[in-house]
Structure 1
Amino acid sequence: MMTILWLKALHVSFMVAWFAGIFYLPRLFVNHAEATDSNVIEQLKGMEKRLLYFITPFALLTVTFGLLLIYSYGIAWFNTAIWLHIKVTLVLVLLAYHGYCFRLLYLFKHDKNTRSGRFYRIFNEIPVLILFAVVILAYVKPSVG
């Protein structure tokens, strides 16, 4: 039982660190999309790159500790925990979102962004919605079906 509690604590801690960055990165993209000063643009490029590379290990550690939790509880538990299947699906969507941020980083780096600040403001809401759903699923564990 103590092992599971440590796994949960590490899983949630890395998830919080990941989300802190994944909430802030699109705000940098908003500023970048709306910036006109070349010095500001260059500064934002550096900030975006450092932040994305800084939070990527947190994403990987969140997934790693989540998988270790699933393994610790066992396959029988996993098979019956439908809420967890939904949660895992949402995490996969968030990982795709995170991966897409690398594409956006590339576009900004090469001055090829064609999206507006408004797009990035809306884009910024996706992880918020995923977080709400994941927290409800993980803590309420609603019966689905």
Structure 2
Amino acid sequence: MLWLKAFHIIAVICWMAALFYLPRLFVYHAMSKDKISRERFVIMERKLYRGIATPSMIATIILGFWTASYNWTYYQSSLWFWGKLSLVALLIIYHFVCQRFMHSLARNEDQHNHVFFRWFNEAPVLLLIPIVLLVVLKPHW
């Protein structure tokens, strides 16, 4: 069980690192003007998304539910757990919104500027803080 939790935490850290860095690449991509730089960002974004972000997200989800399955009765009746899952669902949506931005930037169709992506980059932090607080504090609502 402890090995399972450890690998779940590792997957979460990898996924969050990717979700923090990918929108930062969008900032630089939106600021770039020359074709070579834009093509380089397309490659970097694709490799980060496909090679780290998506596999880490999948591992996080599988390992999270696997861990919860060992004590499902407890988790099923805990409101903090369902609140955490709701916030994780928002992170999953954010993950796929990143994919849409990645594709539109690759096609030079995105209309957002670097300032938008700087703000967009802050969303995972706003989700991560309450997720961690719910997991650690386990409030009894």
TM-score (norm 2): 0.96
In structure 1, what residue type is equivalent to 2:62? T
User: Which residue of structure 2 lines up, in the alignment, with residue 47 of structure 1?
Assistant: 44
User: Which residue of structure 1 lines up, in the alignment, with residue 63 of structure 2?
Assistant: 65
- Deviation by residue 1:32-54 (Cα, 9 ceiling, x = unmatched): 11111211111011101110001
- Deviation by residue 1:69-100 (Cα, 9 ceiling, x = unmatched): 111112x2122211110000000000010011
Distance 1:117 1:143 in 2: 41
Residue 25 of structure 2: SS of its match in structure 1? helix
In structure 2, what residue type is equivalent to 1:71? S
In structure 1, what residue type is equivalent to 2:56? F
Following TM superposition, where does structure 1 have runs of at least 4 consecutive aligned residues deviating by more than 2 angstroms? none
Alignment partner of 1:87 is 2:97 = no
List alignment gaps of at least 5 residues for structure 2: none
Give the share of equivalent positions with the same residue, in percent.
35
Distance 2:67 2:134 in 1: 15
User: Which residue of structure 1 lines up, in the alignment, with residue 6 of structure 2?
Assistant: 9
User: Which residue of structure 2 lines up, in the alignment, with residue 98 of structure 1?
Assistant: 95
Distance 1:78 1:134 in 2: 15
List alignment gaps of at least 5 residues for structure 1: none
TM-score (norm 1): 0.93
1:105 deviates by 1.1
User: Which residue of structure 1 lines up, in the alignment, with residue 126 of structure 2?
Assistant: 129
The CA RMSD over aligned residues, in Å, is: 0.9
Aligned residues: 140
Distance 2:28 2:123 in 1: 18
